[in-house]
Amino acid sequence: MKAPTETTVFDCSVLELPRIHNRAGNITPLENNRHIPFEIERIYYLYDVPGGESRGGHGHKDLQQLIIAASGSFDVLIDDGTNKRVVTLNRPYYGLLMTPGIWRELLNFSSGAICLVLASTEYDEDDYIRDYNEYLNYKS
Ligand code: TYD
């Protein structure tokens, strides 16, 4: 695997997740190392995001994540210090796989959106880079 200082936005990808379709509704099951290329250590979800607010605005050194719009939609702006991409998540059966070392911002949340995040490590503030200039230094 690339060092987090070397990763680019093109190492992040949108995965199509399994979908078990039924007339009474759908199920998307996710299993460690089968649908997700890391062991899940933590799950968290963002909700009740007021209109116009953005979240994120940081990078992670080691953390891998799969970001899913479990309900509604939002955009994820990913940035490696050189390239930027905007990924719109608007279906619960797509997930954005975030490699380590990528800056991200989450914005344009629809009303009622739920951002479900599967994460490869427990919460660790030392893994965050919260200052953009510090992030650019880290990547250079
Ligand atoms: P943060 O990751 O900065 O939120 P976002 O990227 O969505 O804007 O986290 C916000 C606060 O929540 C911060 O004080 C840390 C805390 N937090 C935890 O305690 N555990 C967690 O798993 C997460 C994601 C955040």
pLDDT tens string 9-24: 999 999 999 999 999 9
Measured CA to CA, the distance from residue 47 to residue 112 in angstroms comes to 7
Measured CA to CA, the distance from residue 127 to residue 14 in angstroms comes to 23
Measured CA to CA, the distance from residue 69 to residue 75 in angstroms comes to 9
In this prediction, residue 36 carries a pLDDT of 93
Measured CA to CA, the distance from residue 108 to residue 87 in angstroms comes to 11
Q: Which of 55, 124, 135 to mutate to test the pocket of ligand 1 (most atoms within 8 A of CB)?
A: 55
In this prediction, residue 33 carries a pLDDT of 84
Q: Which helix (H) or strand (E) element contains residue 135?
A: helix 132-139
Can you read off the two tokens belonging to residue 88?
A: 């719109």
Q: Which of 21, 35, 58, 60 is catalytic?
A: 58
What CA dihedral angle connects 69, 71, 75 and 77, to 10 degrees? -30
In this prediction, residue 46 carries a pLDDT of 98
Q: Which helix (H) or strand (E) element contains residue 136?
A: helix 132-139
Q: Kindly give, in sequence order, each residue whose CB lies less than 8 Å from that of residue 24, ignoring residues fewer than 6 positions away.
A: none
Q: Which of 41, 44, 74, 122 to mutate to test the pocket of ligand 1 (most atoms within 8 A of CB)?
A: 44
- Please tell me the pTM assigned to this model: 0.97
Q: What percent of the chain has pLDDT over 90?
A: 98
Using pLDDT thresholds of 50, 70 and 90, give the confidence band for residue 1: confident
Q: Are the C-beta atoms of residues 48 and 98 closer than 8 Å to each other? A: no
Residue 112 C-alpha to ligand 1 middle, in angstroms?
19
In this prediction, residue 103 carries a pLDDT of 98
